[in-house]
């Protein structure tokens, strides 16, 4: 399986940094990409740039493909603590992903220095360059993780889980707040 990773900050009292992984069988990636592209109103897709109806349509497409979803969250213990929170989320997720048969990760490219931090975390968890790559915002599979992260933010910020129900909350097989 291949996993696609995106991170997001949930606003609130202290804030929570979340990392979402959408895992898909390698044989299904091409068909999934075509389905996502077909339903994206503009490219690249970004959840928070769309009307609710557009996001709901995208989440229905995602739910139809039934990816395995993994979420980890870490409270932000002060300003500018996102990288620490991201590291803790990665450290919680990677062993579970490996155990579940995810053998390649595509991580949304951020900035060079931030990507290097991610590489250090991946290597710490035993991954080699064969097990990961960085994709840009044009990668439709990263839109899946972005949409799930957006639905998760909505669930926490507005106490509204209706968007998560569209994709099927039962598809979330690992959810951990650290």
User: What sections of the chain are H helices per DSSP?
Assistant: 29-39, 52-65, 82-99, 112-124, 140-158, 162-167
Mean pLDDT of 27-31: 94
pLDDT over 60 at 90, yes or no: yes
Which fold, 2-177? Nucleotidyltransferase; domain 5 (3.30.420)
Q: How confident is the model at residue 112 (pLDDT cuts 50, 70, 90)?
A: very high
Q: What is the pLDDT of residues 142-161, one digit of tens each?
A: 999 999 999 998 888 888 88
pLDDT over 90 at 174, yes or no: no
pTM value > 0.85 = yes
pLDDT at 79: 62
Q: Which residue has the higher pLDDT, 49 or 132?
A: 132
24-29 long-range Cβ contacts below 8 angstroms, 24+ apart = 24/65, 24/67, 24/68, 24/141, 24/144, 25/1, 26/1, 26/2, 26/104, 28/65, 29/2, 29/141
pLDDT at 39: 81
pLDDT over 70 at 178, yes or no: no
Domain ranges of the chain: 2-177
Beta carbons within 10 angstroms of residue 10's beta carbon = 19
């Amino acid at each position: 399986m291949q996993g696609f990773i995106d991170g997001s900050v949930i606003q609130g009292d202290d804030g929570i940094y979340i990392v979402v992984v959408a895992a898909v069988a390698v044989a299904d990636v091409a068909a999934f990409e075509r389905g996502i592209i077909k339903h994206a109103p503009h490219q690249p897709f970004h959840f928070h740039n769309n009307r609710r109806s557009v996001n709901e349509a995208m989440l229905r497409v995602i739910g139809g493909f039934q990816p395995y979803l993994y979420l980890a969250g870490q409270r932000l213990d002060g300003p500018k603590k996102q990288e620490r929170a991201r590291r803790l989320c990665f450290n919680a997720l990677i062993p579970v992903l490996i155990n579940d048969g995810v053998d390649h990760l595509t991580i949304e490219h951020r900035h060079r220095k931030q990507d290097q931090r991610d590489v250090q975390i991946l290597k710490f968890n035993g991954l080699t360059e064969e097990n990961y790559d960085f994709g840009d915002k044009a990668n439709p599979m990263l839109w899946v993780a972005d949409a799930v992260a957006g639905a998760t933010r909505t669930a926490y910020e507005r106490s509204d889980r209706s968007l998560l129900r569209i994709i099927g909350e039962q598809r979330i097989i690992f959810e951990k707040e650290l």
